[in-house]
Amino acid sequence: MDELRLAVIGVGRIGLAHAENLAHHIRHARLVAVTTSKAERATRVKHLPGDVRVFSTLEQVLAEERLDAVVVASSTSAHAENVERCATAGVHVFCEKPLALTLADCDRAAAAIAKAGVKLMIGHVRQFDPGHVEAKRLIDSGAIGQPVVFRAISGDVDPPLPEFADPEVSGGLILDSMYHDIYLARWLMADEITRVYGEGEALVDEGVRSVGDVDNAVVSLRFAGGAMGTLTASRVTRYGHDLRSEVIGDEGAVQIGYLRQTPVRLLDRRGVHHDMTRTTAERMGEALVAELQAFVDCVNHDTESPVTVRDGRATVEVAVAATRSIHSSRPVDL
């Protein structure tokens, strides 16, 4: 197989994780460039092995580097435009979720990919987490019978800065965070979501409130086959990075997720104590490597992307509908 030359577009928190994985852990891939306007991030990239060049803009890296593929990890509001530019340049694209803030922009990016004949994979990282992969296998094998209820909890320790929480930039809590639970619901239940009803409020963080978003939300789902679901997302789970999912079937259930980072508990007179994962990189480290490896392999083997444009668009559609439901206090049919 060829060694693909890749660039990471935007090395914020998740982009830097992708850059480090490409530099250290992904087979048949070579990180050759990144883009960032932040001096401190450029300095961190310079410590990675190899001659990794740092550019200020996407236009510069496309003009000056020979690239086979890119990882788009810029702000969500720029995803569609960046995907379109990379496709036009004939470069394969791994795009962090979501593909875009609107369905129209999803379609615009998809059209550019189709016209260029390049591959596009969306970063549905939890589909590459070993626990979720095993749960999918068990469900598909019939181990729990017919799935009838999906439940998920997602929580971040601290809210993002207001400039990121701004729905015009990130899409807000639902499209940014609960997005993961929506694609897991479609994937694990093997069914489409047809109706959503959401409740949300900025109950804790003034920064989130100031940009018109919510820091806690609960969304109910209805699936085409009649099954139901509930999703809970929070920006302020102070006790740790809490990611849990459950699928209940008519013959059993499967539960995914854990709270402890280290498999050790201390028992003393005050009770039972253990540590917690604090970030996505800690909880999903193995999955972040697995999804990038899957992207590199699909380009090298010329196989279909493991997470397609259709998967990304359908998830955005549900997230947008759920956000609309929260603001209208009414159910939304898809």
In tens, the pLDDT along 2-37 reads: 899 999 999 998 999 999 999 999 999 999 999 998
The residues pairing with 246 across neighbouring beta strands, listed in sequence order, are 151, 255
Q: Alpha-carbon distance 121 to 307, whole Å? A: 5
- Mean per-residue pLDDT for 325-332? 97
Q: What is the mean pLDDT of the chain?
A: 95
Which pLDDT score, from 0 to 100, does residue 50 have? 83
Residue with tokens 């000056």: 64
Instruction: Tally the C-alpha atoms within 13 A of residue 146's C-alpha that lie toward its C-beta.
Output: 6
Q: With bands split at pLDDT 50, 70 and 90, how would you rate the model's confidence at 281?
A: confident
Which pLDDT score, from 0 to 100, does residue 37 have? 86
pLDDT exceeds cutoff 70 at 1: no
Question: Is the CA virtual torsion 290, 41, 170, 106 positive or negative?
Answer: negative
Tell me the per-residue pLDDT of 292-302, one tens digit each, with 9 for 90 and over: 999 999 999 99
Share of the chain above pLDDT 90, in %: 85
Task: Give the three-class secondary structure for 316.
Answer: helix
Confirm if 227 and 150 have CB atoms less than 8 A apart.
Answer: yes
Q: Alpha-carbon distance 19 to 290, whole Å? A: 14
Domains contained in the chain, CATH given: 4-126+287-304 (3.40.50.720), 129-284+315-333 (3.30.360.10)
**What are the Cα distances from residue 307, in Å, to 35, 49, 194?**
24, 29, 20
